[in-house]
A = this chain, B = another copy of it.
């Protein structure tokens, strides 16, 4: 197995947030893990992030988490960097998961704060304790997702952490609304001559073009058509924002549909299943289950997208 180099501030493009495939009866599906990795790599992603919230990490045992991490890293075989989510209620768990993941060949870890952190000082204190605990050799991506965690990480706290911890090299931007925050991160950081970290955006990519124009380096989300995210990022890299947004807009109706919190995960897995990436769309219980109406609606939206892609190709 070849190991990819660790992530650093230069990371850009699409780090796809990977689903965790299960069989119909809810067991970890390692065969689908392979096919899902192949699918993502085939679409041209620059990296992968596993065991995020979309990866149903809180519903896995530690053994399952490590088995899945191992399988993904083996299949990826160093072709792209893989970031492993290690968020946990206990710092001891974070440390153990982080070290195990790095030992298996991960390129870095992603960390969301525990709930109940309220003030700037508390949020800073949490991240600083973890960064010190993990040490300089474990690259960290800060995961900012207040809609889920209830924790708000201010621009000032990000700056402070970046100044103190060289291992903090990436920020997953997922505040909503968060466009101004992204601009503030970039402009204030530049004005102060601060180290520039990688910023990849989430929220299903719902604001990707706007975020790229405001200084994002790419996307870290799990949209079931990663090729669109890749194209958009490539076109931005080529300095073609209008062309990029034209592509984006084609997929926006489906992307917006997947964006629905909760049911979105089921829609995403069902789409991945339909595209042949995984064998079963099972979400571990308790979790969203699509009914016949949901499926017909999804199929219709996919049909509309495909018709549009065909029309565009032929125009």
Interface residue ranges, A against B (CB under 8 Å): 26, 58-62, 89-93, 114, 116, 118-121, 126, 129, 146, 152, 154-157, 176-177, 179-180, 183, 206-207, 210, 213-214, 242, 245, 249, 252-253, 256-257, 260-264, 284-286, 291, 293-294, 297, 304
In the assembly, how many copies of this chain are there? 4
Q: Which 7 A-B pairs have the closest CB atoms?
A: A119-B154, A59-B90, A118-B152, A177-B260, A120-B120, A91-B285, A58-B89
| CB<8 Å pairs between A and B, sample of 11 | A59-B89, A59-B90, A116-B262, A119-B120, A119-B154, A121-B156, A176-B261, A177-B262, A179-B260, A179-B294, A256-B256
Give the chain B neighbours of A213 by CB distance below 8 A: 297
Q: Are the CB atoms of B261 and A91 closer together than 8 Å? A: no
Q: How far is the CA of A16 from the CA of B71 in the complex (A)?
A: 44
Q: Is the interface of A mostly helix, strand, loop or mixed?
A: helix
Residues of B with C-beta under 8 A to A285: 90-92, 129
Chain B hits for A91, CB < 8 A: 284-286
* Whole-angstrom CA separation of A157 from B119 in the bound complex: 9
Which chain B residue lies CB-closest to A126? B286
- Are the CB atoms of A206 and B256 closer together than 8 Å? yes
